[in-house]
Amino acid sequence: MTQRYANIIGWGKYVPSRVITNADLEKTLDTSDEWIFTRTGIRQRHVVSPDEYTSTMATAAAEEALESAGVRARDLGLIIVATSSPDYLTPPVSSQVQHALGAKDVGAFTLVAGCPGFVYGLATAQQFIVSDACDNVLVIGAELISRYTDWNDRATAVLFGDGAGAAVLQVGDEPSGVLSYVLGSDGSGAEHLILPGGGTVAPPSQETLDQGLHYLRMNGRQIFRFATRVLGKALHQAIQQAGLTTDDIDLFVPHQANSRIIESAARYVGLPREKVFINIEQYGNTSAASIPIAMCEALEQGRIKTGDTVAFVAFGAGLTWASAVVKLGEPSMPTPISRLRLSLPSRLFDPITRVTRTTSAGLMKALAGCLALITALRRRGAKRRKDDG
């Protein structure tokens, strides 16, 4: 069997239009634009309007990714939605997204791995593709943290934002796509980033509400220490596992949590500033959505293109971390043939695809037969000449 690779062939993002600036937060919190920007790199964050949910943002990002990949939702083999802020505890938000996309009967699951969820999703998609279980997998990172934020808590309110990003991975036979990944977890630090109420330990009650246990709580200093300890190392491991060196990385697209943490990871592996992508200034920390949103922006701005090698690294609640090295695959814009395929009903296009596939398989077989015959005849001629001589 030919080696299968998992290429990223399409990408999309959705960011709500409403913006909350640091100046807005200064009016309600004991904080300042100067403190937030110098400590984190954040100037503003995008926040949903009342009629938006994690599923609506995830669906919008996914539609853009499918369009850019030229893949129809119903041709997906699997949908993975990485999030820690689903519409409901159950049903899984992945099924709502699958339904909204019109991906009839396609398998879907929600992956909860904190901010590195999207990178965990890439690793999972790669496994499904290389093992021949699926040809097309959609991975989405979507977060709506503003509804879990205590807007009176300056330790968290200044950091997070809402948004979604998505990627379509497709099987390919060239050595590209997800080249390596590293996944890690250390549950001993669970209490440093936690939403304590609403689960089985503290089910929702008047008491949990009164204590504000339904809001995200964070010990920023501890998370900062953890991040600077694991991030550079995880990035280095992924680059090594891909058989590459830092010089081979065209762009480092890290989880956008804090520009100081990003710079420390880049320093650890010796990546120069111009090879680091940072957009935290505009979006804040969008958790599992931050890497796919950053990847889309890097592509839109021409910072990366097909054939380039990108390194991802993230850390977050769990505590967890993940890194990956990806060589970008096929063109992002739909080709004329994929546009035609997208616009035609499957009952029209699928027979054409089948006929093309059968015809080309038949031609290949005939060609192989001819080559085998020519080789046999040449061998027989050579033997006869040897016998005559």
Active site residues: 115, 255, 285
Tell me if 202 contacts ligand UT7 by CB under 6 A.
no
Neighbours of 109 (CB within 10 A): 15
Residues 115, 122, 216, 291: which binds ligand UT7 (CB under 6 A)? 115
| Closest among 147, 50, 127, 138 to 94, alpha carbons compared | 138
Q: Which of residues 258-287 bind ligand UT7 (CB under 6 A)?
A: 258, 285, 287
Least distance between ligand UT7 and beta carbon 290 (Å): 8
Instruction: State which residue, 221 or 305, has the beta carbon closest to ligand UT7.
Output: 221
Whether the CA torsion 47, 51, 53, 56 is positive or negative: it is negative
Joined tokens for residue 127? 């496994």
Rounded CA separation 375/380 (Å): 9
Rounded CA separation 239/29 (Å): 41
Residue 291 contacts residue 255 (beta carbons within 8 Å): yes
Residues 99, 154, 214, 275: which binds ligand UT7 (CB under 6 A)? 154
Sort strands 163-172 and 193-194 into parallel, antiparallel or unpaired. unpaired
Residues 316, 318, 329, 334: which binds ligand UT7 (CB under 6 A)? 316
Residue 24 backbone phi and psi in degrees, to 5: -60, -45
Which range, of 152-160, 176-184, 202-210, 353-361, touches ligand UT7 by CB under 6 A?
A: 152-160
Residue whose tokens read 């001589």: 389
Rounded CA separation 130/176 (Å): 12
Least distance between ligand UT7 and beta carbon 143 (Å): 10
The type of residue at 30 is D
- Tell me, by CB under 6 A, how many residues bind ligand UT7: 19
Binding mask of the shown chain, residues 121 to 150, with x at each position contacting ligand UT7 by CB under 6 A: ------------------------------
Decide: helix, strand or coil at residue 243.
coil
The type of residue at 247 is D
Which range, of 89-97, 154-162, 205-213, 349-357, touches ligand UT7 by CB under 6 A?
A: 154-162
Residue nearest to ligand UT7 (CB): 220
Q: Which of residues 237-256 bind ligand UT7 (CB under 6 A)?
A: none
Residues 20, 100, 155, 183: which binds ligand UT7 (CB under 6 A)? 155
Instruction: State which residue, 25 or 168, has the beta carbon closest to ligand UT7.
Output: 25
Residues 107, 196, 198, 220: which binds ligand UT7 (CB under 6 A)? 220
Tell me if 43 contacts ligand UT7 by CB under 6 A.
no
Tell me if 224 contacts ligand UT7 by CB under 6 A.
yes
Which helix (H) or strand (E) element contains residue 366?
A: helix 346-388
Burial (0-12, 13-18, 19+ Cβ within 10 Å), 375: exposed
Decide: helix, strand or coil at residue 324.
strand
Q: For helices 33-40 and 259-269, give the axis angle rounded to 10 degrees.
A: 20
Tell me if 117 contacts ligand UT7 by CB under 6 A.
no
Least distance between ligand UT7 and beta carbon 223 (Å): 4
Instruction: State which residue, 108 or 158, has the beta carbon closest to ligand UT7.
Output: 158
| Closest among 9, 7, 53, 13 to 289, alpha carbons compared | 13
Least distance between ligand UT7 and beta carbon 29 (Å): 7
Instruction: State which residue, 35 or 109, has the beta carbon closest to ligand UT7.
Output: 35
Residues 35, 148, 268, 349: which binds ligand UT7 (CB under 6 A)? 35
Joined tokens for residue 381? 């001629």
For ligand UT7, the binding residues (CB under 6 A) are: 31, 35, 39-40, 115, 154-155, 158, 193, 218, 220-221, 223-224, 257-258, 285, 287, 316
